[in-house]
């Protein structure tokens, strides 16, 4: 199984043994599991020449052209072709299995059914040692324990370094990236250049984009949203939880913030604008305006029907808040109590009127302490007249309670 580093720079000879140049690069079209090597780029005395791989035979120590160089037809590379050495070697790629960005130390090629194919990226120490010609030496010292670190090609997503020098390459849709968990996508885009990040957030479907953006570090969120076309940014913000959208918007310049809110859907925009009026470190600042509020006169059956209609997000479903005509908070019902109640029972009779709540001006640390102390999944937030404004869910306060850096750590170690 050859590696690119081993055949790179090999002599290229004509059928009669006349040396005409050296192998400079190989090119593939990045499609399918293991893309076939289709072209060779030969460095000849007068510049680069693109030759079809099928016009070349691999022999020991060199490559032999099947015809004389001048009679080999000039091939040209299509826009979507990847040149292995120029575009992949030493570049960063996404290991979609490990969900992380790694650097290519070497590329593994393999003859499959008579066709040389790109089968893997070597990202291990071994590849590095091979490049400086020390693999053999290291093997003698460390034996077979030297780790291999090869990622099969079908799990690799190249990062587009988009080099204008070589003409615009057709952007390959990052289909493999889209399959990752949004939190992993967030980790990966944090390592990309601004331009590349913008591309990813343009390509992902809005829902995934919104979830991924919520997981990105706050400072970077603002810069991503600034780079995106306004329409797209507004669509993603619509899809995000209002509290997270509001946090993000808070970090943008006022002008840009107003433009985006303008473009958002009316209902989302109103929610976000309301949230923006609360200071960031209060219950109002961290709450979300998404919650389920039901009138007290509904029966249990009607309430369940309503839920079926609303299809609320999972983290908002467990506590159902009971409100009066002025949306004042009267009680709370857990989903469990609702389900076990008799269908004709009124909510007013099933609910727990002693509901724990906080004022919108309470500090977020107090909110976190309450949620922790009473093991709550969410805590309702009210104004001075007991009007229900929103809820703080446990996932909003976990970040307050964990030290910095923890979120990232756990996502990387526990996920596998």
Partner 1 sequence: MTRLRFYLLALGPGLVTAFADNDAGGITTYSIAGAQFGYGLIWVLLVTAVALTLTQEVGARLALATGQGLAGLIRERFRVRWTAFAVLTMLVANLGTTIAEFAGVAAALSLFGVPPQLSAVLSASLVVVLLARANFDRIQYAFVLIGAGVSISYAVSAYLAHPDWGHAASALVRPEITLSNAYFLTLVGVVGTTITPWGQALIQSYVADKGLGPRDLGPVRLDVTLGSGVLTNLIAVFIVVACAVTIFPTGATIESAADAARALGPLVGPSATTLFAIGLFAASLLGLATVPLSSAYFACEAFGFERGLHWRWAEAPIFYGLLTFFVAVPALFILIPGLPLIQVMFLAQVVNGLLLPIILVFVMKLAREPNLGDLRSGRVLYPLGWLVTALASAMSLAFVATQVLGI
Residue in this structure with the two tokens 């990202």, named with its chain if needed: 123
Beta bridge partners of 82: 28
Nearest-approach distance from CB 362 to partner 1, in angstroms:
17
Q: Which of residues 203-232 bind partner 1 (CB under 8 A)?
A: 217-220, 223-224, 226-227
Residue among 72, 83, 92, 294 that touches partner 1 (CB under 8 A): 92
Nearest to 398, CA basis, from 376, 415, 381: 376
Residue 114 makes contact with partner 1 by CB under 8 A: no
Contact call for residue 167 and partner 1 (CB under 8 A): no
Q: Which of 161, 171, 203, 363 binds partner 1 (CB under 8 A)?
A: 161
Q: Is residue 273 a contact residue for partner 1 (CB under 8 A)?
A: no
Q: Does 162 contact partner 1 by CB under 8 A? A: yes
In sequence order, which residues have a C-beta less than 8 Å from that of residue 233 and are 6 or more positions away? 225, 260, 263
Q: Which stretch binds partner 1 (CB under 8 A): 47-55, 90-98, 299-307, 315-323?
A: 90-98
331 to each of 234, 293, 299, 328, 376, how far by Cα in Å?
A: 35, 10, 15, 9, 15
Residue 195, interface with partner 1 (CB under 8 A)? yes
Among the listed residues 7, 29, 128, 298, the single contact to partner 1 using CB under 8 A: 128
Minimum Å gap between C-beta 193 and partner 1 is: 3
277 sits near partner 1 (criterion: CB under 8 A): no
Least distance (Å) between residue 129 CB and partner 1: 10
Cα(297)–Cα(29) distance, integer angstroms? 64
- Under the criterion CB under 8 A, does residue 185 sit at the interface with partner 1? no
Closest separation in Å from C-beta 132 to partner 1: 6
- 91 interacts with partner 1 by CB under 8 A: yes
Q: Output the smallest distance, CB 162 to partner 1, in A.
A: 7
**Residue 102, interface with partner 1 (CB under 8 A)?**
yes
63 close to 121: Cβ distance less than 8 angstroms: no
Q: How far is the CB of 126 from partner 1 (least distance, A)?
A: 12
Q: Supply the minimum distance, in Å, between the C-beta of residue 353 and partner 1.
A: 36
User: What residues from 388 to 407 belong to the interface with partner 1 (CB under 8 A)?
Assistant: 403-406
Considering only the stretches 73-81, 186-194, 233-241, 344-352, report the one whose residues sit in contact with partner 1 under the rule CB under 8 A: 186-194
Residue 196 near partner 1 by CB under 8 A: yes
Figure out which of the listed residues 31, 311, 326, 413 binds partner 1, where binding follows CB under 8 A: 413
Number of residues counted as binding partner 1 (CB under 8 A):
45
Q: Is position 164 an interface residue for partner 1 (rule: CB under 8 A)?
A: yes
Q: Which residues lie near partner 1 (CB under 8 A)?
A: 89-92, 100, 102-105, 123, 128, 131-132, 161-165, 190-197, 217-220, 223-224, 226-227, 251, 280-281, 403-406, 408-409, 412-413
């Amino acid at each position: 199984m050859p590696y690119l580093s081993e055949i790179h720079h090999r002599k290229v000879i004509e059928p009669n043994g006349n040396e005409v140049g050296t192998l400079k690069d190989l090119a593939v079209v990045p499609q399918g599991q293991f893309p076939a090597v289709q072209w060779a780029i030969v460095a000849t005395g007068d510049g680069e020449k693109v030759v079809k791989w099928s016009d070349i035979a691999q022999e020991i120590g060199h490559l032999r052209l099947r015809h004389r160089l001048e009679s080999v037809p000039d091939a040209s590379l299509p826009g979507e072709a990847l040149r292995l050495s120029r575009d992949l070697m030493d570049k960063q790629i996404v290991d979609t299995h490990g969900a992380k960005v790694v650097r290519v130390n070497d590329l593994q090629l393999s003859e499959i059914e008579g066709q040389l194919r790109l089968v893997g990226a070597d990202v291990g120490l071994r590849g590095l040692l091979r490049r400086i010609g020390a693999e053999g030496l290291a093997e003698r010292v460390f034996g077979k324990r030297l780790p291999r670190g090869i990622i099969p090609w079908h799990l690799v997503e190249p990062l587009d370094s988009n080099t204008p020098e070589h003409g615009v390459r057709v952007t390959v849709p990052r289909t493999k990236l889209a399959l990752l968990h949004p939190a992993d996508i967030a980790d990966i885009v944090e390592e990309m250049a601004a331009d590349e990040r913008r591309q990813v957030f343009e390509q992902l479907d809005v829902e995934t984009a919104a979830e991924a953006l919520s997981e990105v570090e706050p400072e970077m969120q603002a810069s991503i949203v600034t780079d995106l076309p306004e329409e797209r940014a507004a669509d993603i913000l619509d899809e995000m939880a209002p509290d997270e959208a509001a946090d993000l918007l808070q970090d943008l310049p006022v002008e840009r913030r107003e433009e985006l809110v303008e473009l958002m859907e009316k209902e989302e925009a109103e929610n976000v604008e309301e949230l923006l009026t609360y200071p960031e470190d209060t219950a109002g600042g961290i709450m979300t305006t998404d919650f389920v509020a039901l009138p007290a006169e509904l029966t249990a059956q009607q309430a369940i029907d309503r839920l079926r209609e609303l299809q609320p997000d999972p983290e908002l479903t467990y506590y159902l808040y009971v409100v009066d005509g002025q949306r004042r908070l009267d009680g709370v019902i857990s989903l469990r109590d609702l389900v076990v109640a008799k269908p004709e029972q009124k909510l007013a009779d099933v609910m727990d009127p002693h509901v724990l709540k906080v004022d919108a001006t309470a500090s977020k640390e107090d909110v976190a302490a309450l949620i922790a102390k009473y093991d709550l999944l969410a805590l309702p937030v009210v104004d001075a007249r007991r009007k229900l404004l929103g809820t703080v869910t446990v996932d909003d306060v976990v970040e307050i309670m964990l030290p910095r850096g923890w979120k990232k750590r756990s996502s990387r170690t526990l996920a596998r």
